[in-house]
Amino acid sequence: METLKKRILTEGKVIGSNILKVDSFLNHQIDVSLLNDIGLEFAELFKNEKITKILTVEASGIAIACMTARHFGVPVIFAKKTDSANQDTEVYQSEVYSFTRQKSFKIRISKKYLTAADRVLILDDFLAAGKAVNGLIDIAGQAGAALVGVGIVIEKGFQPGGRNLRARGIRLESLAIVDGMEDGRVIFR
């Protein structure tokens, strides 16, 4: 997606060889106009898949999921990362390790909102090692839902998450794939 790649090149900040900061438009400040284009792109890519639910994980994935779900007319479900007094006790859950935060946490979705009748699209902002997406796939599997595919805004192609999903035969659509970051520069696939 060319408009996205242009934004990454002009506004993305490369830190070391692994961190790509895009918090001016994607995951702190959100350019809703760009997200609208992103939502349209995912809608076009998955239009024939009879999707019934879009799954993501809090927090940055929520914006992307909502701006995409509009075009399908389906609900978003976002997995919760934190314990809350208000949460259902009947949940599907999966353990996720975050390299950014250097700790494991559980993600949870209430059993009420995901069933074997669902056709699920998983969306997230970044795919690196793939831990969060794998947690969501695990949860969709626990519910017996059909996984239609995974849509990612920025895939770090030099980390194994994308490769592993493709090797499992899962349809993965990444709008931008970064194959390397050298001397502060982003190299797209």
Binding site for its own copies (CB under 8 A): 15, 19, 21, 23-25, 28-33, 35-36, 58-60, 62-63, 65-67, 69-70, 73-78, 80, 82-86, 88, 100-102, 109-110, 112-113
Q: Taking the mean position of all CA atoms in its chain, how far away is CA 136?
A: 9
Give the bridge partners for 124, in sequence order: 152
Between residues 39 and 162, which has the closer beta carbon with respect to its own copies? 39
Between residues 74 and 172, which has the closer beta carbon with respect to its own copies? 74
CA nearest 129: which of 103, 175, 104, 165? 165
Least separation in angstroms between residue 167's CB and its own copies is 28
Lookup: tokens for 97: 């390790």
Between residues 57 and 172, which has the closer beta carbon with respect to its own copies? 57
Least separation in angstroms between residue 72's CB and its own copies is 9
Q: Cα–Cα distance between 80 and 139 in angstroms, integer?
A: 12
Asked if 79 and 60 count as a contact pair (C-beta separation under 8 A), the reply is: no
Least separation in angstroms between residue 135's CB and its own copies is 16
Least separation in angstroms between residue 169's CB and its own copies is 28
CA nearest 145: which of 108, 68, 92? 92
Q: Cα–Cα distance between 150 and 120 in angstroms, integer?
A: 9
Between residues 93 and 110, which has the closer beta carbon with respect to its own copies? 110
